Structures are given as structure tokens and as C-alpha cells.
């Protein structure tokens, strides 16, 4: 379990990303680890380039999450896990801390970059959350890129589904979860958060996890932005992202203290697990997790990406 | 606008219900008003009977919301509003404050009592939130009563859809929203909350509002339970129910103060409107709203239902 961290890294723009906390050490070979680290660094660079070119915190998290969705290593976009019925159902959310505007989509099957659809929901619809075929109809109206469902399919995730089905048949616990996300602080002091996921391997019955739920896996206000990754049901029950950001905004807790209390205390006390990336308006950050590892990274105003996976790596 | 109220009404069991805050005075004729008041009183009696027979707070809110779903006067279950495509899509959620267990369903079209399916999700699935056809598949496995979609149809709601379409064509603001909900405190000091809705008249694109979102329209913890009714997008953006309950549980605010701050200050400051029913573990209650009226009611341990619609009615 990582210790609370709330260090100040100086002036914005700042960007944190995660690629999931469902990593298990024995699953990783050296090639995969190199690929994951390169993909995290690339996502950080893409977000930073956007910010360096004058983009907002919203632009930075959008660019970073698109890069993570497009990479095959993470459970979002291309590379998403399969549902029980062998399809990919994708969820995403985005929130602008400065205005409390938010957009989210759940259960889409043809949207190449769900975070772009979530942003279109926020900016071009009167709604916050759209689901399923209706959300895809909105995507068509907005000229959001649609792809054949086969685009999301990777051999690795298909094999994971087969393994999960075998485990489920033996009543073993299946905990293949993962997510990607980003939080950013821009030069004007605005915060934003975004999260995207394929959900839980072998999920059934149209399950919606925490990622597309504003307040659970994703939240941002004027003082704090969080993107979570973990066992979504526990993030929903604790309204985890809102709980962390309300501790920072209304209870004046430090970012590290707030993140530790919710992610490493409240959620494990209920039986859940996972991690999060949290950024404060003062530049304080926290990346708590209580799993074996969390794909994560940070980039500051020097434009140098720093990435990590295991608990003993400090970035 | 109502003033904050946090009066103590003595010993549990206690139950509050609402039937929506989208009432407009000129829409109500005397017959409809009598029907609404009788239906609210009946829901209160049903919940109270359950509690008086030894049921939990969960049982009380379930019984009350089933009664409100079955009544044609409210936008939930039979009597739900129509989507843009002329169908009824129903959402519901339930939460147990003592354990933070929760269940929710979104976008179901054949489930007679969505609150019963939300409770089954909480008690008989590993998930918190299920959507669409997948949720209906789970309903079948759980022997939850399904009905022909025509069951939900009422002539009044169909006429409202036609009116909403005409308004939308003229770019007028359409604010037909409504919901039903209940919060209860049982003899063992446990709180629960439940909410059920047909969403927004003329809604499109698979829109999900606040009602089925744990933390937005529905939340309960050990200190507080809330069910909201209003312009859902603003309840999502403020994580309204979690915000109220966190103010009570973690910031030690009085129920009336917490409810007033979120429902009558934060939400209107963003441009939203609506109301809520909130109950504390100490028996304090609040029923704030900033619309013309809110269908609401209270029943205490004397078993006498008290109902109200307009701001000047105290119950």
C-alpha cells in the first residue's frame, strides 16, 4: 500500500495519467512493461503539448485519454475487455472543474474514442449522461468517429475473457478491472478530469461501473480533480471522486490526506480495492493505490514525462 | 422558496415521500389535486405498515415507492413520461445507509416496478448499476414482474409529449421533470433512500438523469438519507445527494442547513432547480424546494399521514 503523498511540483501546466490499478506483477513480461511505459509517456506528452500550445485543462485530459484509449495495453478503447457476451461496451466521462460542466457515456459499442463523445455530450447536448444506442445516435449527429466493433478487439483480452469464464465457473473471484484517466491543471488555474474504460471482464446485464458516473470515478471542482480506477461498485457506493474533492474543497483537507482517507481507508474497509490520481488547484498531487501496482505518470511544465507501475517507484 | 426546516419529529419509524417538484400550479385541477394527495397518503401508509410490522428502513422505502410507481399521477412506473421516441424508459435506485449497499437500474422498458429491480440488483447481483436490455435480462432471472410497455402509458403523459414536441420546435424551454422517492428511518436507527422516475418528457439519446445515479439523486449513509427531484443534470454535476449527506455525516451540519445549501443555493446558482427530501439519523428532516410546488408527505410513529403540495403548507 502506498503512503499518502501530497507534494508540490511547482507551476502548471500539470498533468497526471493512469492506466489502471488492476495490474498483477506476474502478468507482466518485460516487453509488455516497456510498451506500457512508452504508452503512458506518449499520453503525457500529448496532453502536455496541448497545454503548452495554450490548451485548457480540458484539452489536456482529452488529448491524454485519447492516446490511452488508442493504445492496446489498457482497458479502454482499443484493448478494452470483453463482456460476458463477448462484446466490448465502453464507458467514459469528463468534467470541467471551473464550471462543474460534465459529460458521460455508458455502454457504447461503436465509438472509437468514448472520451470525445463524453466531451461532446458536455459541450453540445443539454444532458450530462447518455447511454447505449441513444448515445451512439448522438455520436452520429456530432460526427464523432464510429468504428466496427472489431476495432476494439485484441487477442489478449479475448483470452482473458476465456480465463475469466473458467474462473467464474469455478466460483473464483474475478478481479480483472482497469481504466484509463487523466487530471490536469492549466495555466489559468482550471482543473479537469477524464476517465475511460471497457469495464470489468465478463461483466453482465448491462453493468455500469464507476468510470462514467460523475462523482464516483470522475469528478472535478475548483479545488480538486480526480480520476479513479478500481473495483467500480465500491467507488459508486462511496461516491469516491466527489468524496475526495469535497474533502479538499469544503473540508480544506490536503489532497494527499483526502485521497488516502477515501481510496486507502473507506474503500478497503468495505472490501473494495483500487487507486486514483488526484490533483489540487495548488499543484498538490496524490496517486494512492492498494493493489499490486498502478500504471501512472506525471508531466510538469518542463515537459518531461515520468511514469511508474510498482509501489516502490517514486515519480 | 421554502425556508430551511430541520425539525425533530420524535421517535422512529419515520418516512418521508415525494412525488416530484415539477408541479405547476395552473396544471392542477381540484380532482387531480385530490388524487395526488390520496396517492401520497396511501404510499405513506404502505411504508408505515411495513415498518410497523417490523420491516427495515429499506422495506419502508421500497413499499412507499412501489405505491407511488403504481399510481398514475407521478412520473414513475405507470404514468411515466414519454421519451422523444414515444416510449417509456424507467430509472430507479435504492440505498441502505447502514451498509452503503446500493442498487440502480437505468433505461428499462418492461419492468413494472423499477424500484424492486434496483433492490434485486443490490441484494442479488455483484453490481450496483445495470442498464437497458441487460438489466431486463437480470429482471427475468430474478422473477421480477415484467409488463407490456403499454402498461406505463397514460393519455395525460402522451398529450404532454405532444406539447413538449411543439415547445421544442419553437425552441422553448421544456421543464417537465418529476420523480418519486422516499427516505426512512427505522426503529434500529437505520436510514434508507429510494428514487424512481420516467425521466424528462421528450428526452433523447438514451439520457440518464440523476435518479438512478448513486450520489446524485439518491444517497444514504449512517447519518443521512436523501431522495431528490428536479432538473437532473444539475443534481449530477453537484453530486447533490452525496453532497447533502456528506455535509451531515462528515461536516456535522444540521440536516436543514445541508439540504438548503445544496438544493436551494448550489443548484440554483448553476441555473438548476428542484427539491429533495432529507432525513437524519436523529430524526431531523428537511423538504427544500425552489419550484412552484413539491408533492410531499411525512408519516411518523403515530401512523398519521401528512401531505402537502404548495410552499405555504407545513406538515
Judged by CB atoms closer than 8 Å, whether chains meet at A129 and B242 is answered as no
Nearest CA in chain B to A140: B205
Q: Which residues contact B250 (CB under 8 A, 6 or more apart)?
A: A247, A251
How confident is the model over B154-182, as pLDDT tens digits?
A: 777 777 777 776 765 544 444 456 799 99
pLDDT at A9 over 60: no
- Distance CA(A42)–CA(A37), nearest Å, equals 9
Q: Is the pLDDT of residue A243 over 90?
A: yes
Contact A178, A20 (CB under 8 A): yes
Phi, psi of A11 (to 5 degrees): -80, 150
Q: Is residue B315 part of a domain?
A: no
- Is A126 inside any structural domain? yes
Q: Which of A102, A130, A207 sits opposite B207 (nearest CB)?
A: A130
Neighbours of A5 (CB within 10 A): 17
CB contact under 8 A, B101 and A237: yes
- A238 three-state secondary structure: coil
User: Which residue has 485519454 as its cell numbers?
Assistant: A65
Put simply, the answer to whether A247 touches B243 (Cβ < 8 Å) is no
CA dihedral B112, B115, B117, B120 (to 10 degrees): -150
CB contact (8 A) between residue B237 and residue A100: yes
Residue A184 belongs to some domain of the structure: yes
Q: Is the pLDDT of residue A231 over 90?
A: yes
Which of B130, B206, B237 lies closest to A205 in CB terms?
Answer: B130
Q: Are strands B14-18 and A224-230 parallel, antiparallel or unpaired?
A: unpaired
Best mutation target among A91, A207, A248 (most B Cβ atoms within 10 Å) is A207
Residues of B in contact with A192 (CB under 8 A): none
For chain A, how many structural domains are there in total? 1
For the record, the C-alpha cell of B176 comes out as 417537465
**Structural domain contains residue B265:** yes
Helix (H) or strand (E) holding A168: helix A155-169
Residue B247 lies in a domain: yes
| pLDDT over 60 (residue B203) | yes
Q: How far apart are CA A189 and CA B280, in angstroms?
A: 37
Report whether the peptide linkage leading into residue B13 is cis, meaning its omega lies within 30 degrees of zero: yes
- The answer as to whether A274 is a domain residue is yes
**Residue in chain B nearest A214 by alpha carbon:** B236
pLDDT at A8 over 60: no
Note down the domain range covering B30.
Answer: 5-308
Instruction: Indicate the residue of A95, A208, A250 with minimum beta-carbon distance to B129.
Output: A208
Chain A and chain B share a number of CB contacts under 8 A equal to: 139
Q: Is the CB of A132 less than 8 angstroms away from the CB of B214?
A: no
Cell of A255: 489532497
Q: Within chain B, where are the H helices?
A: 30-52, 57-70, 114-124, 132-141, 155-169, 232-237, 240-249, 255-259, 267-270
C-beta neighbour count of B214 within 10 angstroms: 31
Q: How confident is the model over A31-41, as a mean pLDDT?
A: 93
Percent of chain A at pLDDT above 70?
91
pLDDT at position A10 over 70: no
**CB-count exposure of residue B169 (10 Å: 0-12, 13-18, 19+):** exposed
**A47, A54, A22, A25: which is closest to A298 by C-alpha?**
A47
* Lookup result for grid cell 496541448: A50
CATH code at position A163:
3.60.20.30
- The CA distance from A81 to A79, in Å, is 6
Active-site residue numbers of B? Answer: 179
pLDDT at B86: 79
pTM (2 d.p.):
0.93
Is the residue at B313 inside a domain?
Answer: no
The answer to whether B131 contacts A213, with C-beta atoms less than 8 Å apart, is no
Task: State the Cα–Cα distance between residues A14 and A285, nearest whole angstrom.
Answer: 10
Q: How many residues in chain A?
A: 315
Residues of A contacting chain B (CB within 8 angstroms)? 95, 100-102, 106-107, 125-135, 137-138, 203-209, 213-216, 219, 232-233, 236-239, 242-243, 246-247, 250-251, 270
Task: Extract the C-alpha cell encoding A39.
Answer: 504508452
In a domain, B114, yes or no: yes
- How does DSSP classify residue B83? P
Amino acid at each position: 500500500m502506498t503512503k499518502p503523498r501530497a507534494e508540490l511540483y511547482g507551476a502548471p501546466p500539470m498533468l497526471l495519467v493512469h492506466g489502471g490499478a488492476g495490474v498483477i506483477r506476474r502478468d507482466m513480461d518485460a516487453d509488455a512493461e516497456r510498451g506500457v511505459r512508452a504508452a503512458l509517456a506518449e499520453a503525457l506528452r500529448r496532453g502536455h503539448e496541448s497545454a503548452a500550445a495554450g490548451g485548457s485543462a480540458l484539452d489536456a485530459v482529452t488529448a491524454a485519454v485519447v492516446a490511452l484509449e488508442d493504445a492496446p495495453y489498457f482497458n479502454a478503447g482499443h484493448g478494452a475487455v470483453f463482456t460476458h457476451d463477448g462484446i466490448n461496451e465502453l464507458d467514459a466521462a469528463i468534467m470541467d472543474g471551473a464550471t462543474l460542466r460534465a459529460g458521460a457515456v455508458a455502454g457504447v459499442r461503436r465509438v472509437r474514442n468514448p472520451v470525445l463523445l463524453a466531451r461532446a455530450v458536455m459541450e453540445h447536448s443539454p444532458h450530462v449522461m447518455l447511454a447505449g444506442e441513444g448515445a451512439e445516435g448522438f455520436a452520429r449527429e456530432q460526427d464523432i468517429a464510429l468504428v466496427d466493433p472489431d476495432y476494439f478487439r485484441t487477442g489478449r483480452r479475448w483470452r482473458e475473457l476465456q480465463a475469466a469464464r473458467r474462473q467464474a465457473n469455478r466460483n473464483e473471484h474475478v478481479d480483472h478491472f482497469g481504466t484509463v484517466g487523466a487530471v490536469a491543471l492549466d495555466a489559468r488555474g482550471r482543473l479537469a478530469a477524464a476517465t475511460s474504460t471497457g469495464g470489468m471482464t465478463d461483466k453482465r446485464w448491462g453493468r455500469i461501473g464507476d468510470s462514467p458516473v460523475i462523482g464516483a470515478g470522475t469528478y472535478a471542482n475548483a479545488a480538486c480533480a480526480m480520476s479513479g480506477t478500481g473495483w467500480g461498485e465500491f467507488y459508486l457506493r462511496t461516491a469516491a471522486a466527489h468524496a475526495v474533492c469535497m474533502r479538499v474543497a469544503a473540508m480544506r483537507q490536503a489532497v494527499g490526506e483526502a485521497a488516502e482517507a477515501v481510496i486507502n481507508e473507506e474503500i478497503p474497509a468495505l472490501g473494495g480495492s483500487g487507486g486514483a490520481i488526484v490533483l489540487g488547484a495548488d499543484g498538490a498531487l496524490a496517486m494512492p493505490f492498494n493493489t499490486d501496482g498502478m500504471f501512472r505518470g506525471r508531466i510538469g511544465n518542463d515537459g518531461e514525462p515520468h511514469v511508474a507501475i510498482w509501489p516502490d517507484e517514486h515519480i
